Structure formats: C-alpha cells, structure tokens
C-alpha cells in the first residue's frame, strides 16, 4: 500500500493559469478537469473553471489545485515547502516559482546550516525552499 501527502491549492478564478505555470516549472503530466465535464456546478459562469487539477512531475512530486466556486469562501491558510539536498533542482524551482512574485527571504545560507528562502508566487501561494547543508560546528 502507498500513502501520499501532497498540497491541494485553492484558487478563485485562475487555477488553470496557475497549474499550467507550475507545470512549466516542474514538468511531468498535468490533468485538468472542469466543472462542466463533471456537471458539478449549476452556475454557467463556472463551467470552464477547474474542478480538479493534478500535476504529477517526473520526479514524483504531486501538486493539486482547483478553483473554489464563488458560492464558497477560500479559507485555507497554508504554505508549500520544497526541501531536500538537490541544490541545483531546488534552486531552479526557487528561481522559477518566485519570478513575478514577492520574495520574503532570498535564497541564502541560514543559521542552521541549510540554504533557505521564502516567497509568495504571482498567484498568492506562499512557498518555502530549504536545501540541506552542513550544520555549523
């Protein structure tokens, strides 16, 4: 049996654009389903909005997202964290995802010995990137 924990991002009206952007960063396979495809909304204005999106990157990362119907509030408050020891890949993700967003902390050596940075992307999603390093002696 396999168990996975992965982020599911909520958007108001731009899930398609956001998921396509994340696909350009992470690669892999992107599946998008609209409300109309599943007859999931009585509101014609929401027919082409994304009911479910799933990006499965070639390296196994999974990111999901959808447009929250206008009749519902977006209440989730979360941050996506990317971490590991692949400096080149994680630095590339940091640079691509933060492009057009707001950087809170530049990617730099942190007091705990790792390289760390944080930002909010152009879709309002907060991200943390932590690249494992050697702890200070």
pLDDT digits (tens, 9 = 90+) for 73-99: 777 668 899 999 999 999 999 999 999
Number of domains in the chain: 2
The total number of residues shown for the chain amounts to 137
Helix (H) or strand (E) holding 9: strand 8-11
- Report residue 15 as tokens: 């899930």
User: Looking at the domain assignment, is residue 2 inside a domain?
Assistant: no
User: Looking at the domain assignment, is residue 74 inside a domain?
Assistant: no
Tens of pLDDT, residue by residue over 21-38, are 999 999 999 999 999 987
- Report residue 122 as tokens: 């152009």
* This prediction's pTM: 0.83
Q: Which domain holds residue 110?
A: 80-131
Where helices occur in 33-134 by DSSP H, the ranges are 87-98
């Amino acid at each position: 049996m396999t168990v996975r924990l992965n982020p599911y991002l909520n958007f108001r009206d731009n899930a398609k654009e956001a998921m396509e952007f994340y696909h350009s960063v992470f690669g892999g396979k992107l599946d998008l389903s609209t409300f109309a495809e599943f007859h999931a909304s009585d509101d014609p204005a929401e027919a082409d909005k994304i009911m479910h999106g799933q990006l499965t990157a070639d390296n196994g990362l999974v990111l999901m997202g959808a447009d929250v119907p206008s009749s519902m509030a977006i209440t989730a408050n979360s941050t996506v964290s990317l971490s590991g020891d692949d400096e080149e890949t994680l630095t590339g993700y940091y640079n691509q995802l933060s492009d057009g967003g707001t950087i809170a902390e530049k990617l730099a050596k942190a007091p705990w010995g790792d390289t760390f940075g944080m930002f909010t992307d152009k879709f309002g999603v907060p991200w943390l990137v932590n690249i494992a390093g050697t702890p200070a002696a």
